[in-house]
């Protein structure tokens, strides 16, 4: 049982504590994994929708998604299953632009289906030659008659192959102010999955090809040229929650390490009786608490603080994901050979946490955000 004392922190309202309890009970009976990754993800989205948890991922009228709720949900789900967290998170990231910037009609068409789990969402920004440097994307969208026509490629797109729509960013002009955002249904003619990508912690991931994909003029989200800002604001909202997922993985790694070291015989006692082990466990707990404080501070700032919290969100994502990797690594080390054995939970956690340091702004990019903000303030 992970440490739950953080729920008493002043960042939370009673509804958050209730949510954490409900999700924890629900997560105890997650559907068993099968050999079909796509089917597993579809099941998870459907069940999260039926249980009502996906409502957290979308705006409610003018109310933006509650970041503390999202973060608590991701932490709790990731503790139990990285795939469940993934399925939850992508519903938010993929529909985030619609929640934040969509028209009433776009919200009405897509958000109820995302919230019920009937439509699977995806966020398509990265290209083979433009990852961190997203402002340099090459995919284009041109108004031909009364339809937008998209040409280009997107890669590393989560839910690629199983999504019902791809929130796609494409160039309608020059520079970062020449990017626009579009809702592209998965069955749009000319859109295809060019390649499925297998990563160390598998989830549906693909390279997509847009070959003169035509969508109606009203498929654009926001105004032409606003796409980059829309993308960055969506990422900013969800960045803290990536840290929260890492926190859930780290808490689980510590739990596993405590259970294993208390059980493992060493001389006349156990591994947990050893001072070197205890120092490791203490460092793991310290990193977890520091990550949790940064995450829930940033989430609180976003929900109620009323401040531009880009720096706090970047700090939370950077620290929590890097710390989770160190915690998972320590847990593997404490398990000895068992730690690198397939099927042992800490081996899975070690792989699960790795990509979180890369996507939605790699650690190097988060450092850049923090430093630029500091330097701007010092001017």
Ligand X SMILES: Cc1cc2nc3c(=O)[nH]c(=O)nc-3n(C[C@H](O)[C@H](O)[C@H](O)COP(=O)(O)OP(=O)(O)OC[C@H]3O[C@@H](n4cnc5c(N)ncnc54)[C@H](O)[C@@H]3O)c2cc1C
Under rule CB under 6 A, residue 371 binds ligand X: no
Selected binder of ligand X within 12, 101, 123, 148 (CB under 6 A): 123
Selected binder of ligand X within 48, 73, 78, 124 (CB under 6 A): 124
Q: How far apart are CA 89 and CA 207, in angstroms?
A: 20
Under rule CB under 6 A, residue 95 binds ligand X: no
Does the annotation count 189 as an active-site position? no
Shortest separation between residue 44's beta carbon and ligand X, angstroms: 16
Under rule CB under 6 A, residue 11 binds ligand X: no
Under rule CB under 6 A, residue 157 binds ligand X: yes
Under rule CB under 6 A, residue 355 binds ligand X: yes
For the CA atoms of 167, 173, 177, 179, the dihedral, rounded to the nearest 10 degrees, stands at 10
- Residue of 213, 215, 173 whose CA lies nearest to 193: 213
Choice between 7 and 201, CB closer to ligand X = 201
Query: Cβ distance 340 to 349 under 8 Å?
Result: no
Choice between 89 and 271, CB closer to ligand X = 89
Shortest separation between residue 114's beta carbon and ligand X, angstroms: 15
Under rule CB under 6 A, residue 173 binds ligand X: no
| CA-only gyration radius of the chain, Å | 21
Under rule CB under 6 A, residue 83 binds ligand X: no
SS3 sequence of 253-293: HHHHHHHHHHHCEECCEEHHHCHHHHHHHHHHHHHHHHHHH
DSSP character at residue 190: T
Q: Which of 75, 153, 287, 360 is catalytic?
A: 360
Shortest separation between residue 292's beta carbon and ligand X, angstroms: 24
Choice between 93 and 272, CB closer to ligand X = 93
Query: Cβ distance 109 to 164 under 8 Å?
Result: no
Q: How far apart are CA 197 and CA 121, in angstroms?
A: 18
Selected binder of ligand X within 156, 182, 210, 228 (CB under 6 A): 156
Shortest separation between residue 232's beta carbon and ligand X, angstroms: 12
CA 66, 70, 75, 77 torsion-angle sign:
positive
Selected binder of ligand X within 43, 95, 158, 180 (CB under 6 A): 158
Backbone phi and psi for residue 138, each to the nearest 5 degrees, phi listed first: -110, -20
Residue showing tokens 């739990």: 255
Show which residues are catalytic. 360
Q: Which residues sit at the interface with ligand X, rule CB under 6 A?
A: 123-126, 131-132, 156-158, 199, 205, 355, 358-359, 362, 364-365, 368
């Amino acid at each position: 049982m992970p440490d739950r004392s953080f729920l008493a922190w002043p960042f939370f309202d009673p509804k958050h504590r209730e949510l954490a309890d409900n999700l924890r009970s629900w997560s105890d009976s997650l559907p068993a994994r099968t050999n079909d990754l796509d089917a597993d993800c579809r099941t998870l989205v459907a069940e999260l929708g039926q249980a009502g948890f996906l409502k957290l991922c979308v705006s409610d009228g003018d109310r933006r998604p509650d970041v503390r709720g999202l973060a608590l949900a991701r932490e709790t789900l990731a503790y139990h299953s990285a795939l469940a967290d993934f399925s939850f998170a992508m519903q938010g990231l993929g529909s985030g632009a619609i929640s934040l910037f969509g028209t009433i009609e776009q919200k009405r068409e897509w958000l109820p289906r995302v919230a019920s789990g009937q439509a699977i969402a995806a966020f398509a920004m990265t290209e083979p030659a433009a990852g961190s440097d997203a402002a340099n994307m090459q995919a284009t969208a041109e108004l031909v008659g009364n339809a937008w026509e998209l040409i280009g490629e997107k890669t590393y797109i989560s839910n690629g192959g199983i999504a019902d729509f791809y929130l796609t960013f494409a160039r309608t002009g020059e520079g970062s102010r020449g990017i626009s955002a579009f809702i592209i249904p998965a069955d749009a003619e000319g859109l295809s999955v060019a390649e499925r990508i297998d990563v160390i912690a598998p989830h549906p991931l693909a390279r997509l090809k847009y070959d003169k994909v035509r969508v109606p003029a009203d498929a654009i989200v926001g105004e032409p040229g606003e796409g980059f800002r829309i993308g960055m604001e969506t990422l900013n909202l969800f960045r803290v929650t990536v840290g929260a997922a890492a926190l859930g993985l780290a808490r689980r790694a510590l739990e596993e390490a405590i259970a294993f070291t208390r059980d493992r015989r060493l001389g006349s006692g156990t591994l947990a009786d050893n001072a070197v082990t205890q120092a490791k466990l203490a460092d793991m707990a310290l990193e977890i608490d520091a990550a949790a404080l940064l995450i829930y501070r940033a989430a609180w700032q976003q929900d109620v603080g009323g401040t531009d919290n880009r720096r706090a969100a970047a700090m939370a994502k950077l620290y929590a994901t890097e710390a989770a990797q160190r915690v998972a690594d320590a847990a593997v080390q404490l398990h000895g050979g068992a730690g690198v054995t397939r099927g042992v939970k800490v081996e899975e956690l070690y792989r699960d946490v790795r990509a979180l340091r890369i996507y939605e702004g790699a650690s190097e990019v988060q450092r850049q955000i923090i430093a630029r903000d500091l330097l701007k303030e010092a001017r």
